[in-house]
Structure 1
Amino acid sequence: MPASVLSAYSPTSFLMPDLEASISVLPERDTNPHHDEARSESRLWINQFNKTVYGPKMRTFMDNCNLELINSFCYPYANKDGLRATMDLHNILWLYDEFTDTESGKDAHRSASVAQQALCDPEFNDGSWLCLMMKDFKTKHIDRAGPDAARRFIEHFCSYVKVVGKEAELREENKILDIQDYITLRRETSAVRTCFDLVEYCLGINLPQDVHEDPVFIGGYNAAMDLIYWANDLYSYNMEQAKGHSGANVITVIMKNKHLELQAAADFLGGYFESLIYQWKTAREVLALRSSEKYTNAVTVLDAYGDWVRGNVLWSFTTERYFGTQNTEIRKTRCVGLRLPFEESVNLTE
C-alpha cells in the first residue's frame, strides 16, 4: 500500500495472529510454586523506590498489572531466592521504563549514567532513588551470580539504559527506523538480555563466554529474544498508539517499511514469529548433538529461554497491562479495538 494511502487509512480494530498456537511446540510447565512468598518480598522492596516516582493512581494501575507474575511463568524452575531476584529485576525494568517514557532524551541519558555508575562504581552514591535501587539489587543478587553471568548482566543492563536514551531521542524526533535497525535497537531496549542473564543465575549455571560467542548458540539466543519482544510489541501496540508512542513498535515499523496497513502488518508478524520458533528449535537440536558438558548446559539454558517465550505470551493475557479488563475476551477472539488517543491512560504522577 503506498505511503499516501497508508497515512489516510484509519482502522478501528485488528485481529492479532495466534501466538499461543505458535508456542504450542514448547513444553508446558506449571508456574513457580514460590510465587506468593517471593512476590510479597519483592513488592515490599520496590515500594521503597516507586513511591518516589509513582502517584497513587499509577501505583494502583501497576499493582493490577501483576508484573511479578510473569516471572512465575518464565522461571518455573527457580528456587525462592532466584525467583525473588527475577521479580526485583522486573520491577526495576518497569519502573525505569515508565519513568524514562516521561523524560527527554537528555534526561534519559542522565538517568542512564546514574544507573551505570551505581552498578560499576562501588564508591558512587548520588543519593537518588535510582542509584540506591541499583546498588541494592547488585548487592542482593548480582554479586551472588557466577562471574561470567554477573559480568554479562552488568554489561547488558548498562547497554539497556544507554539505548533507552536513544529511544527517547527517536520519540522526540518522531523517527521510525527500518526493520533491521529496529531489530538491533529493540534487542537492547527490550532488556531481555538481562532477563536471560538471570536464567543462568536461577539454574546455577555459569556458561563460559565462548558458548555465548558460538554462532549456533547466538542463533537460538537471538531467536528467543526476538520472539519475546515481537510478542510484546504486538500486545502493547494498542496502548502505545493511544499514548503516541507507536513509532517504537515493530507493527509501525513493518507498516512503514513494507507499505502495509495494520492488519497485514499484524499478519506479517505472525508469520515471522513462526520462523523464529523454527530458528530456536534448530539451534537447540544442533547443540544437543555436542557431547561436552558446557553444551549440555547450553541446551538447558536454551530450554529456559523457551520457557521465557511461552511464559511471556501466557502472562500477557493474565495481566491487565496490555488489554485491561478485556484481557480474557481478547485472548479468546484476538480482536483488538483501537483506543482513542490517550484513552484510559494514567499519568506517572497521578
Structure 2
Amino acid sequence: MPDLEASISIFPERDANPHHEEARRESRLWINQFNKTVYGPKMRTFMDNCNFELINTFCYPYANKYGLRATMDLHNILWLYDEFTDTESGKGAYKSATVVYRALHDPKFDDGSWLCLMMKDFKTNHIDLAGPDTARRFIDHFCSYVELVGKEAELREERKVLDIQGYIALRRETSAVRTCFDLVEYCLGINLPQDIHDDPVFIGGYNAAMDLIYWANDLYSYNMEQAKGHSGANVVTAAVDFLGGYFELLLYQWQTARDTLALRSSEKYANAVRVLDAYGDWVRGNIVWSFTTERYFGTQNSEIRKTRRVVLRRPFEQSVHLTE
C-alpha cells in the first residue's frame, strides 16, 4: 500500500477526545435498540470489535460530550445501514432509501420499521438542535447518500468498475462523508451560511478533504470488500499505484483553499477556515483509526501499519454474514 500516513504531516496531531468513554457507552446503548433487529450474534460481536465509535474520538477531538455523542450515533447508523444494504439488491436498497427520506421529511410518517424509528430518533435528538443551514444540508446529504447506495448496489450486481471520474462522483455521495462534515459545524457551534458552501475556494478544500477520507478508506477496506465479492464498486481494484500520487495532489488542493480563505477578513471566512481545519482532523483521524480498529486488518493491524503489505484473502474467506 502507498504510505498515506507520511503524507498527512501537514495536519497537526490532536489529543483524543476526553469524553470518549461516556459518549460511547450512551451511543452503544442507543444503537443496540436497532442493530439487534438486524444483526445475528456473530455479526454483533464482530461489529462491537470494530469499535466504530472510536473514529469520532480521533476525528472530533474538540467536540463536547453531546456533540461527540451525536457523531457516534451517526457513525453507528452509517455502519448499520452499510452492512444492511450490502445484503440488498439495488431495488431493495432504493426501497430503504425511500423510508429514510420520508422519516427525515415527514413528521407524521411511521411505517413501524426499525429504520424509520432510528432516523426519526436521530433527527429529534441531534439534527433538530443544529443551526438551520447545517440541519438542512445534513438532511439533503443523508438522503443523497442513501439514494446513491442503491446505485452502488446495482454496480455490485453488474460487477462494474467505474472510471476515475465516475467513481469520484459516486463515492462523494456513498461515502457519507458529507454528513460527517455537517456534524463538524454542529460540534463547533458554527452555522456556515450557504454562500460559503457555494464559494469555489471553499468547495475546493471541502472536496479535497472528502476525497482524502474515502480514498484512504477504500484502500484500507479493499481486502475485506473484495473478500465479500464487492470489489466491482471499489476503484482501488485498478488504481492502487495511482492513489499515492493523487493523495499528495489532494493535500495541496486542501492547503491552497485554506490559505486563500485565511486571507479574507470577515468572521464568516474565519469560521470557514476553522471548519476546513476540522476537516483536516477528520483526514488524520480516519487514517489513525483504520490502523487501530480490527475492522480492516484484524489483529495484524500493527504489523500491516509498519510493512504496508497486505495478503489478499480468498473470496468469502473469514467473512461473517449479517444474520449469523
TM-score, length-scaled by structure 2: 0.99
Match of 2:40 among 55, 59, 62: 55
Do 1:85 and 1:141's aligned partners in 2 also have CA atoms closer than 8 Å? yes
Tell me how far apart the structure 2 counterparts of residues 18 and 127 of structure 1 sit (CA, whole Å): 47
- What amino acid maps onto 2:246 in structure 1? Y
Q: Is the 8 A contact 1:67 1:90 kept in 2?
A: yes
1:162 alignment counterpart: 147
Give 1:302 shift. Answer: 0.1
Q: Distance in 2 between matches of 1:18 and 1:267?
A: 11
State whether structure 2 residue 280 is matched by structure 1 residue 295: no
Aligned partners of 2:41 and 2:306: how far apart in 1? 32
2-side partners of 1:344 and 1:73: how far apart? 28
Following TM superposition, by how much is the alpha carbon of 1:280 offset from its aligned partner in structure 2, in angstroms?
0.3
How far apart are the structure 1 equivalents of 2:143 and 2:191? Answer: 20
In structure 1, the residue matched to 2:56 is 71
Partner of 2:168: 183
- After TM superposition, the structure 1 stretch with the greater mean CA deviation from structure 2, 52-61 or 165-174, is 165-174
RMSD: 0.6
- CA-CA distance at 1:267 after TM superposition: 2.5
Regions of 4+ moved over 2 Å: none
> Does the CA-based 8 Å contact 1:125-1:132 persist in structure 2?
yes
CA distance in 2, matches of 1:249, 1:176: 7
CA distance in 2, matches of 1:251, 1:188: 17
Alpha-carbon distance between aligned partners in 1 of 2:227 and 2:214, rounded to the nearest angstrom: 19
Instruction: Give 1 or 2 for the bigger CA radius of gyration.
Output: 1
TM-score (ref. length: structure 1): 0.92
SS at match of 2:61: coil
Q: Specify the code of the residue in structure 1 equivalent to 2:116.
A: C
Q: Is the 8 A contact 2:133 2:191 kept in 1?
A: yes
> What's the CA shift string for 1:65-89, capped at 9, x where partnerless?
0000000000000000000000000
**Alpha-carbon distance between aligned partners in 1 of 2:128 and 2:70, rounded to the nearest angstrom:** 12
| Residue matched to 1:8 | none
Q: Deviations over 1:113-154 (max 9, x none)?
A: 001100010000001000000000000000000000000000
- Whole-Å separation in 2 of the counterparts to 1:166 and 1:288: 38
Give the Cα separation in 2 of the matches to 1:244 and 1:111.
Answer: 22
Q: Retained in 1: the 8 A contact 2:161–2:235?
A: no
Whole-Å Cα distance in 1 between the matches of residues 265 and 232 of structure 2? 45
Q: Secondary structure, in 3 states, of the residue corresponding to 2:314? A: coil
In structure 2, distance between residues paired with 1:236 and 1:316: 9
Name the structure 2 match of 1:149.
Answer: 134
* Cα-to-partner distance string for 1:41-91 (whole Å, 9 max, x where unaligned): 000000000000000000000000000000000000000000000000000
Identify unmatched segments of 5+ residues in structure 1: 1-15, 256-264
Query: What SS does the aligned partner of 2:310 have?
Result: strand
Aligned to 1:307: 281
Name the counterpart of 2:16.
31
Q: Are 2:198 and 1:198 aligned?
A: no
% same residue? 85
Shift of 1:178: 1.2
How many residues align? The count is 324
8 Å Cα contact 1:230-1:250 kept in structure 2: no
Unaligned runs of 5+ in 2: none
Aligned-residue offset at 1:25: 1.4
1:66 counterpart letter in structure 2 = N
- CA deviation string 1:188-224 (max 9, x = no partner): 0000000000000000000000000000000000000
Q: Shift of the alpha carbon at 1:313?
A: 0.3
Matched, 1:97 2:82: yes
